[in-house]
Amino acid sequence: MTQNKKVQLQDLGNRDYKEIWDYQEALFKGVVDVKIANRREDANQETPNYFLFVEHPHVYTLGKSGDLSNLLLSEKQLEAKAATFYKINRGGDITYHGPGQIVGYPIFDLENFFTDIHKYLRFLEEAIILMLAEYGVIGTRSEGETGVWLGVGTPFARKICAMGVRASRWVTMHGFALNVNADLGYFDNIIPCGIKGKAVTSMHAELNKQIDETEVKNKIIKHLSFLFEAEFVDLQVKA
């Protein structure tokens, strides 16, 4: 199979969670369909790769292995906070998405890069760690817990970037959620990622200033390009 190292980059702006979940599913299915057709017809058609940046209105999502009791709000309380809730098909437990948070969804055919889901997750983490270092923020991994953390091994361990992915036939979807200028108060309504006693933070909270989100996105793409040896092609997206 010919490896396609190009990634179609789309910045979708602020969009409803369900709308983008459906869009991801459509892109995901399209890539899988090409792979199935290639096998059936002994063909060698390139599979596309996509990377979506998006910001969601307030929403809580629960992964396949998650526990609903980690959501600490009733339906009425969700409505009062103008937040929505979805059970979804990624790994991981519960998390929050909202304004001021950069969400990245790679829909990659890993056969274009390498067939190792753990390496894939470590590369996503590494891109965030390298980006944070450019701001003087020391991000690290926490053993046994996917994502990027600060202060691991201290009483002040806090998560700055959550991750949860789904993969089938080596095609990925879902991804990471990085707290940049997010309102961290919304995390008080859940047990984030099902881990009790662990705090969350944001770049804004750590650096005590508003962060340029476009600059952060550009830095993330720079590091992903290097790690995956990929070429990101920016696509203009109509609102």
Structure tokens at 203: 């770049």
Average pLDDT over residues 30-56: 94
Average pLDDT over residues 69-77: 88
190 is in an annotated binding site: no
Q: Do the beta carbons of residue 202 and residue 182 sit within 8 Å?
A: yes
pLDDT score recorded for residue 152: 92
175 is in an annotated binding site: yes
pLDDT score recorded for residue 100: 98
Structure tokens at 212: 């340029």
- Catalytic site residue 161? no
Query: Could you tell me the pLDDT band of residue 238, with boundaries at 50, 70 and 90?
Result: very low
Pairwise CA distance, residues 202 & 54, whole Å: 17
pTM of the model: 0.92
Please list, in sequence order, all residues whose beta carbon lies within 8 angstroms of the beta carbon of residue 94, skipping any fewer than 6 positions away: 60, 61, 62, 63, 66, 67, 70, 71, 190, 191, 192, 193, 194
176 is in an annotated binding site: yes
- Active-site position among 71, 193, 203, 220: 193
Please list, in sequence order, all residues whose beta carbon lies within 8 angstroms of the beta carbon of residue 112, skipping any fewer than 6 positions away: 3, 4, 5, 47, 49
What phi, psi does 147 have (nearest 5°)?
120, -175
Identify the CATH class of 6-235: alpha beta
Average pLDDT over residues 64-88: 87
Helix ranges restricted to H, 173-212:
203-207
94 is in an annotated binding site: yes
In 3-state terms, what secondary structure has residue 123? helix
User: Read out DSSP for 36-88?
Assistant: HHHHHHT--PPPP-EEEEEE-SSEEEE-TT--GGGB---HHHHHHTT-EEEE-
Q: Above pLDDT 90, what percent of the chain? A: 72
Structure tokens at 111: 């056969």
